[in-house]
Amino acid sequence: MTVLKASHEIPRAEFQRYSGCLGALCSAAGWSQINNSDIPCGAGPAALLHPRWLALVINYLSPARRDLVADLFRERLAVADYVPSADGVERLPPGEDPGQQIDAERLPSDAMETTETMFVVHLPSPIPPADEDLPEAFDSHFHADRTCRRLFGDTTVESPLDTLVDWTPVQAPSYPVKLVGGVTCFCDPEVWPASLPTRPSWKVSLGIHPRKIAEASPGFVSQFIRQCAEPGVSAIGEIGYDLMDGRQHLAKQHQLLETILGSTREGLPLIFHVRGAQGDDLAEDLYSKLRELVGQFRSPEQTTVLHCFHGNLKTVRSWLEAFPNTFFSVNGFCRRVKASQQEALLAIPKDNLLLETDSPYLGVTNNVRCNLPHYIGDVAQKLAGHFHMSPRELIEVCTANGRRVFLK
């Protein structure tokens, strides 16, 4: 049993479970869903309203709806009682079963104004630990810092990687996996981390996103290049070309790539982001321009990762020819592909495939606005058909490749 005290601190895990239950309540009542990320998590006063609001709205349901919610919550959240307490001690009526269903009659209608009471609930057990039979999965590309900002707003999260990896998603993945590691990319100069995280089997990549070119002052670029030599850095990227905002930044993006490739050490995998202008879905010219540039600075043994890959067959073949250690990392972006992209995906050798979420973007799970590494199995589930593999096979292949590239 857990008691949510009328304080400013509701543990995140409990807040998450409440959010899930709130979603179930909204569905049952036919109300529009409240998105978890719309509510500041943790220490905000809005979080305090959460259980109280829940108690209040249950009172407004018709008897039939209450029964429906009681059924829903019997599994997920059983409200035992609403117990007045002045001393912060949890109390239930003596001898009473903690309750398996909502007793709406006993919920005070003025719950919002009651400050001396505690809302006593039974929370469902945490999501069961990973089954030994689940496939081990590796998320080759995600952004722990951006994901935490989407989850918690602009609150500074001191350890975004730890926070994210230890996070329990409100909505369980539809294809659960045992998450064994991944690569978090820092690539935003304006919110550069004060220190780099260290966590076994979770690696750090440093880059300057091509769309952040305006934020990358010469001083920052020098600092960035020095930092790339630190032992905690396992890859360089994401760096590359992006013309979504127009071609006006292309020359600067190219110049930055030259500086980075010319000043950083050989050996670290390079993670590239390539995105053509609006309507240029295959970005063939950009992939080709990048390949030629990398060839000027690196040997054919260089390990390269084309993150969020969406090119055509020519791109796959030319990169593998120039750099046999090229890895094509796929994510939710590939859910709907053109015939030419499908052909390219099938031509990627199994040993050169990686799987990524690119969290917080490109979610593939319904109703999830913020993608998480925990949903990497869902990505595999959506994409496996493109590779003529089962989701499990795709996950296992990509995990082995991810370990080979980043965990050596």
Query: Which range binds Zn ion by CB under 5 A, 80-88, 220-228, 351-359, 396-404?
Result: 351-359
By beta-carbon proximity to Zn ion, the closer residue of 139 and 358 is: 358
**CB half-sphere exposure, 307, CA atoms < 13 A:** 30
d(CA 305, CA 141): 10
Nearest approach in angstroms of CB 30 to Zn ion is 37
Query: Which range binds Zn ion by CB under 5 A, 64-72, 174-182, 258-266, 358-366?
Result: 358-366
Nearest approach in angstroms of CB 18 to Zn ion is 31
By beta-carbon proximity to Zn ion, the closer residue of 54 and 187 is: 187
Q: Which long-range contacts (CB under 8 A, 24 or more apart) does 250-257 make?
A: 252/213, 253/210, 253/213, 254/289, 254/293, 256/208, 256/210, 256/213, 256/216, 256/221, 257/290, 257/293
d(CA 380, CA 385): 9
**CB half-sphere exposure, 361, CA atoms < 13 A:** 10
By beta-carbon proximity to Zn ion, the closer residue of 15 and 287 is: 287
By beta-carbon proximity to Zn ion, the closer residue of 19 and 304 is: 304
d(CA 17, CA 163): 16
By beta-carbon proximity to Zn ion, the closer residue of 135 and 207 is: 207
Site for Zn ion in 219-248 (CB under 5 A): 238
By beta-carbon proximity to Zn ion, the closer residue of 81 and 145 is: 145
N- to C-terminal Cα distance for the chain? Answer: 44
Query: Which range binds Zn ion by CB under 5 A, 174-182, 295-303, 354-362, 400-408?
Result: 354-362
Structure tokens at 112: 């919002």
Nearest approach in angstroms of CB 278 to Zn ion is 16
Nearest approach in angstroms of CB 63 to Zn ion is 50
Nearest approach in angstroms of CB 253 to Zn ion is 13
Distances (CA, A) of 303 to 141, 201, 209, 233: 15, 19, 19, 15
Closest CA to 101 of 152, 58, 135, 60: 58
What angle is formed at CA 390 by the lines to CA 200 and CA 315, rounded to 5 degrees? 80
By beta-carbon proximity to Zn ion, the closer residue of 50 and 275 is: 275
Position among 358, 384, 387, 406 found at the interface with Zn ion (CB under 5 A): 358
Query: Which range binds Zn ion by CB under 5 A, 74-82, 161-169, 355-363, 378-386?
Result: 355-363
Binding of Zn ion at residue 188 (CB under 5 A)? no
By beta-carbon proximity to Zn ion, the closer residue of 81 and 358 is: 358
Count residues near Zn ion (CB under 5 A).
Answer: 3
Site for Zn ion in 274-293 (CB under 5 A): none
Structure tokens at 117: 């009471």
Residues written for the chain: 408
Specify the amino acid at residue 315. T
Nearest approach in angstroms of CB 150 to Zn ion is 13
**What kind and span of H or E run contains 26?**
helix 12-29
Position among 149, 203, 273, 310 found at the interface with Zn ion (CB under 5 A): 273
By beta-carbon proximity to Zn ion, the closer residue of 81 and 139 is: 139
Query: Which range binds Zn ion by CB under 5 A, 25-33, 352-360, 366-374, 385-393?
Result: 352-360
Nearest approach in angstroms of CB 238 to Zn ion is 5
Distances (CA, A) of 63 to 58, 82, 123: 10, 19, 23
Site for Zn ion in 34-63 (CB under 5 A): none
Nearest approach in angstroms of CB 271 to Zn ion is 8
Nearest approach in angstroms of CB 112 to Zn ion is 42
By beta-carbon proximity to Zn ion, the closer residue of 303 and 359 is: 359
By the 8 A CB rule, do 315 and 288 touch?
yes
**CB half-sphere exposure, 15, CA atoms < 13 A:** 23
Binding site for Zn ion (CB under 5 A): 238, 273, 358
